[in-house]
Amino acid sequence: MKKLIVYGDIHGCYDEFRNLREKIKPDTNDIEVCVGDTITKGKKSIKVLNYLIKHNIKSVLGNHEDKLIRYLLHEKSNKKNPIILNLDEEKIVKELQEKHIHFLMNMPLFFKLGNIIILHGGIQNSCNLNRLKHKDKSKILRMRYLDKNEKFVMYGEEDSKSIFWADTYNGEQGFIIYGHQWFKDIKVNKYSVGIDTGCVYDNKLSAIILEDNSKNNWRIESIDKL
Ligand SMILES: [Mn+2]
């Protein structure tokens, strides 16, 4: 039986990622995908990229990969780069080889397998993945909270009336597996599962394993932060 294995935000936590994958023991015909934010914050971002490339593990785009890609694209122009990197990001950019850049630049915004969708942040009910508007990309990468009119709330501007996107998602685009917002334990809703369990914030790294690509038959494996 073929499995779909989706890993939560790795954020450079290479050792935990390897341990988690060795615990799951994927078969050669299983499909493995990351929810994005594979790099930055943790100490071993380049090692994570090397491992993903070597083992043919895919990833959708996260906001942290997106930032580095936008930085690299600006560097090619003659104008002053508007993207400001922190020290960790600067170090990563210096160590990036051609194969890493190719891997990052080819990360899709979402990955669809039947009725299952893997994306980094979240989605509004008004959004159609087959007809994306200009601003949808940035929102899909960064979505956490919506206001009472289901409009995007900027990071840090949420209040007691804000609604986490997955708590109001109607399932119309499919069953969504996502990361970006971390929880102590995975967040399960009727039409979604959030699998970022904050490894880089000293909690744990989790993966969801779906048998036969079915949203009705899944389990979680986790590894605590070392
Ligand atoms: Mn993120």
Tell me how crowded residue 31 is: count the other CB atoms within 10 A of its CB: 17
The verdict on residue 155 lying in a domain is: no
Rounded to the nearest angstrom, the distance between the alpha carbon of 1 and the centre of ligand 1 is: 31
The verdict on residue 210 lying in a domain is: yes
CA separation for the pair 205, 202 (Å, rounded): 9
Domain that holds residue 11: 3-120+174-224
The verdict on residue 49 lying in a domain is: yes
Q: At residue 39, what are phi and psi to the nearest 5 degrees?
A: -120, 175
Residue 28 has a pLDDT of 93
Strand ranges, E, within 62-203: 110-113, 116-119, 145-146, 163-164, 175-178, 187-189, 192-194
What CATH number does residue 199 fall under?
A: 3.60.21.10
Judged on CB neighbours under 10 Å (0-12, 13-18, 19+), 134 is exposed
Residue 78 has a pLDDT of 84
Rounded to the nearest angstrom, the distance between the alpha carbon of 62 and the centre of ligand 1 is: 5
pLDDT, one tens digit per residue, over 40-50 is: 999 999 999 99
Look at residues 223, 166, 226 and name the one whose alpha carbon lies nearest to residue 8. 223
Rounded to the nearest angstrom, the distance between the alpha carbon of 139 and the centre of ligand 1 is: 11
Rounded to the nearest angstrom, the distance between the alpha carbon of 181 and the centre of ligand 1 is: 7
Residue 72 has a pLDDT of 96
The verdict on residue 147 lying in a domain is: no
* pTM higher than 0.85: yes
pLDDT, one tens digit per residue, over 90-108 is: 999 999 999 999 999 999 9
The verdict on residue 212 lying in a domain is: yes
Rounded to the nearest angstrom, the distance between the alpha carbon of 24 and the centre of ligand 1 is: 24
- The structure tokens 């995908």 sit at 33
pLDDT, one tens digit per residue, over 141-160 is: 999 999 999 999 999 999 99
Question: What is the tally of structural domains in the chain?
Answer: 1
Residue 215 has a pLDDT of 84
Predicted confidence (pLDDT) at residue 183 exceeds the cutoff of 80: yes
Average pLDDT over residues 64-71: 98
Strand order in the sheet with 31-34: 58-59, 31-34, 3-7, 204-211, 218-224
The verdict on residue 75 lying in a domain is: yes
Rounded to the nearest angstrom, the distance between the alpha carbon of 203 and the centre of ligand 1 is: 16
The verdict on residue 201 lying in a domain is: yes
Predicted confidence (pLDDT) at residue 1 exceeds the cutoff of 80: no
CA separation for the pair 158, 165 (Å, rounded): 12
The verdict on residue 150 lying in a domain is: no
pLDDT, one tens digit per residue, over 2-52 is: 899 999 999 999 999 999 999 999 999 999 999 999 999 999 999 999 999
Residue 86 has a pLDDT of 97
pLDDT, one tens digit per residue, over 188-222 is: 999 999 999 999 999 999 999 999 878 889 999 99
Rounded to the nearest angstrom, the distance between the alpha carbon of 182 and the centre of ligand 1 is: 9
Residue 62 has a pLDDT of 98
Are the C-beta atoms of 147 and 162 separated by less than 8 Å? yes
